[in-house]
């Protein structure tokens, strides 16, 4: 019987490390947001399992649970990055303030 690979191995096999930025650039399946931003995705639980965003899986595995009501901000501004050191749990308001959408809303 085939043994399931652990999460760290699955992440490692689907990233390319950018030497300049230290981003772990996701090379696996990608979910494209309509407002911009591509996010890596990874199926959890085998066939029929739930598809989750790869940066969230990486953060939860290497750092810990994302607090209730929080989301992850990509400090590097690369939405394909899954490097947990480039991710910070923040409120939605703070994430928008820091991101491109927040900048657009600021300069009406």
Does any domain span residue 38? yes
Number of domains in the chain: 1
Instruction: Provide CB contacts within 8 A for 71, sequence distance 6+.
Output: 89, 90, 91, 92, 95
Please give the residue range of the domain that contains residue 96: 7-106
Does any domain span residue 2? no
pLDDT in tens, 9-33: 999 999 999 999 999 999 999 988 7
pLDDT of 31: 87
Does any domain span residue 1? no
Q: What are the distances in angstroms from CA 38 to CA 43, 47, 54, 65?
A: 16, 23, 11, 22
Structure tokens belonging to residue 75: 């400090």
Q: What is the pTM of this model?
A: 0.82
Does any domain span residue 85? yes
The CATH number given to whatever domain includes residue 38 is 3.90.75
pLDDT in tens, 70-108: 999 999 999 999 999 999 999 999 988 887 654 443 323
């Amino acid at each position: 019987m085939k043994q399931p690979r652990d999460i760290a191995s699955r992440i490692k096999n689907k990233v390319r490390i950018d030497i300049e930025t230290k981003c772990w650039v996701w090379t696996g399946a990608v979910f494209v947001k309509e407002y911009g931003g591509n996010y890596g995705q990874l199926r959890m639980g085998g066939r029929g399992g739930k598809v989750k965003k790869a940066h969230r899986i990486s953060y939860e595995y290497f750092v810990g649970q994302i607090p209730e009501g929080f989301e992850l901000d990509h400090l590097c501004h690369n939405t394909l990055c899954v490097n947990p050191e480039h991710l910070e749990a923040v409120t939605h308001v703070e994430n928008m303030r820091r991101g491109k959408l927040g900048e657009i809303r600021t300069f009406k």
